[in-house]
Structure 1
Amino acid sequence: MQAPGGPDEDRDGGFEQGGWSVNYWDERMGAVMDDQFAEADALLLGRKTYEIFAAHWPNVETEDDPVAAKLNSMPKYVASRTLDEVEWNNSTLLSGTVEEAVADLKSDRRDVISVQGSHDLIQTLLAHDLVDEFWLWIFPLVVGDGKRLFGDGTIPAALELTDAETSSTGVQMLRYDRAGEIEYDSFALDDAAE
């Protein structure tokens, strides 16, 4: 999930594959992204993604771009240990621990809070069981090293596929709800003879 949008987006760990998603975009992916942002009521971001978004989206003309219009107007919550303030329109810096702040936010808002990018933040959310639904886009390529969505500390959980679509470039756009705990079993043959 590291640096999909450009070579210099996130070089942490010496990552050299930035911009890997750009040549896979088609019109349908744009429409699905518009729909996903239309469904979201608020945005939750980590510091790095917030800084990338805040440097870009306020400079995009919103009249013909529904994503820019939504992002620039919607409530945005930022988890950061280093920022003292956030200036992008309608942004709030979370205080306290991330897991407590997000749990409170989910309880208070009770609507769709979307997370974009924000690798470190997502790892914290996964480790504290704070993700209810996944909107995953799987691209037909292997980038090798880089940041993983489901890193160490992710709580095991079953998922239920609720929507699936494939772009003209082979990108799988998948939507999963949480479906409780994993049910374990075995393919091993019974040793007992009957």
Structure 2
Amino acid sequence: MGKIVISTNVTLDGVVQDPDGQEGFELGGWFHQFVGARDLEDWTANETEEVLGAEALLLGRRSFEWFASRTPAMDVRVGREWADRMNSLPKYVVSSTLENPQWSNTTILNGDAAKEISELKRSVDGEILVYGSYQLVRTMMEQNLADELRLVVFPVVLGTGLRIFDETSDKKPLHLVNTRKIGDGLVSYAYEFVQV
């Protein structure tokens, strides 16, 4: 049985919007503004370890397109081992509009998202890693399909912007399973979703 692991970078006040500044959000670009050289090195090692432990990727369409446009050609400076693993993993993208994905090993899930993700969990043995994909993440949380949430918290408060927990219909209890410092300024938290 697969385990859905949501992994995301987040500001101290929970903003996940536009970390690289490419989306046009006025406060975007916080990833590189608030990360030092040692932080970036340790963050890359953390992300590489995480993706090496995954058996598949699950993405929403916009996140899929973002990664597909960058990952295949990534150079050594940003983590060749990470990029190679991302390229080789089976990828599942939830989309009703994507027709011809150009990234290797991609399967489109275009039916009922909750049903298709439940079937994916039954067919994959191991971690199914979710990057970005905030609309999909919210759907999975609402449908109790997510198993673990991993947050890398950046030392900045933006005060506004899209947050991973902007919309929930009910409380979502979590159980802390791990915390650790990354570099000099980042903190990683891992939580399991408590099924009630």
Q: State the TM bucket, normalised to the shorter chain.
A: 0.7 to 0.9
CA contact (8 A) 1:119 1:147 kept: no
The reply to whether residue 33 of structure 1 matches residue 43 of structure 2 is: no
Q: Which runs of 4+ in 1 moved over 3 A?
A: none
The reply to whether residue 47 of structure 1 matches residue 61 of structure 2 is: yes
| Aligned with 2:87 (options 72, 83, 87) | 72
Deviations 1:109-141 (A, max 9, x none): 132101001111111111111110011111111
The reply to whether residue 91 of structure 1 matches residue 101 of structure 2 is: no
Structure 1 residue 107, shift from structure 2 partner? 1.1
How far apart, CA to CA, are the structure 2 residues paired with 1:140 and 1:92?
A: 36
Give the 3 Å change call, closer, same or farther, for CA 51–159 of structure 1 in structure 2.
same
Larger radius of gyration: 1
Deviations 1:12-41 (A, max 9, x none): xxx211210123152221111111111111
The amino acid across from 1:69 in the alignment is D
2:164 is paired with a residue of what secondary structure?
coil
2:135 maps to what in 1? 120
Q: Tell me how large the CA RMSD over aligned residues is.
A: 1.9
2:32 maps to what in 1? 22
Aligned length: 176
What is the percent sequence identity of the aligned residues? 34
Q: Give the alignment of 1:102-141 within 5 angstroms.
A: 102-141=117-156
Structure 1 residue 59, shift from structure 2 partner? 1.0
Larger RCO, structure (CA 8 Å, separation 6 or more): 2
Q: TM-score, normalised by structure 2?
A: 0.83
Structure 1 residue 178, shift from structure 2 partner? 2.2
CA contact (8 A) 1:78 1:92 kept: yes
CA contact (8 A) 1:126 1:154 kept: no
Structure 1 unpaired stretches of 5+: 182-194
Q: Which has the higher strand share?
A: 2
CA contact (8 A) 2:55 2:125 kept: no
Structure 2 unpaired stretches of 5+: 1-15
The amino acid across from 1:37 in the alignment is V
1:175 maps to what in 2? 190
1:3 maps to what in 2? 18
Q: TM-score, normalised by structure 1?
A: 0.83
Deviations 1:144-188 (A, max 9, x none): 22211112135423222111111233211111112344xxxxxxx
